[in-house]
Structure 1
Amino acid sequence: MVSLDSGRRVTGWGMALFVTSSIAWISGAVLSGDHPLGAQNAVLLGVNSFGVYRYLIRRRD
């Protein structure tokens, strides 16, 4: 969805899907005690959250 570049709305929802995936991976990392995996996905959560902001929330200039 993100790489197809089908428009801001589709890309934004793809980023929202990535946010959900990052949260799931962080939860799994916490439960299994895998701190590097949790840290990696915390960074990805920030990047993906910025993508949601950029494509779904921010007005296009």
Structure 2
Amino acid sequence: MSDFVLTALQYYGAGAAALAAFILSLNVGRKWSGFAFVIFVTSSIALIAWGFLDDDAEGIGVQNVILLVINCVGVYRYLLSGHWKDKERAA
């Protein structure tokens, strides 16, 4: 794999994770939090690819497989499940 692609995956993954964490820290609502988790998912995918394509980064790949599952749960809870609509109606 070319060094350019590996570097792009590495830095995209890091930058996207930082952006998603920043959005979550703003606590601007359910929809924005859901979009932050979508960004986290793309970050995890990039870091999984980098981790398994680069000889020295396998640990990052394994860690991001786990984080990908967690981030998909976040996407489901904040964007796809409708259980929060019932809570808003009851309030």
TM-score (norm 1): 0.91
Displaced runs of 4+ in structure 1, greater than 6 A? none
Q: Which has the higher contact order (CA 8 A, sep 6+)?
A: 1
CA distance in 1, matches of 2:27, 2:81: 17
Distance 1:2 1:58 in 2: 18
- Shifted more, 28-37 versus 39-48: the winner is 28-37
- Structure 1, unmatched stretches of 5+, are none
Alpha-carbon distance in structure 2 between the residues aligned to 1:36 and 1:12: 27
RMSD: 1.0
Q: Could you say which structure has the higher helix fraction?
A: 2
Tell me, which stretches of 5 or more residues in structure 2 are unaligned? Answer: 1-22, 87-91
- Write the deviation string for residues 4-50 of structure 1: whole angstroms up to 9, x where unpaired: 11111000000100000000000001111332111100011011110
Q: Which residue of 1 aligns with 2:53?
A: 31
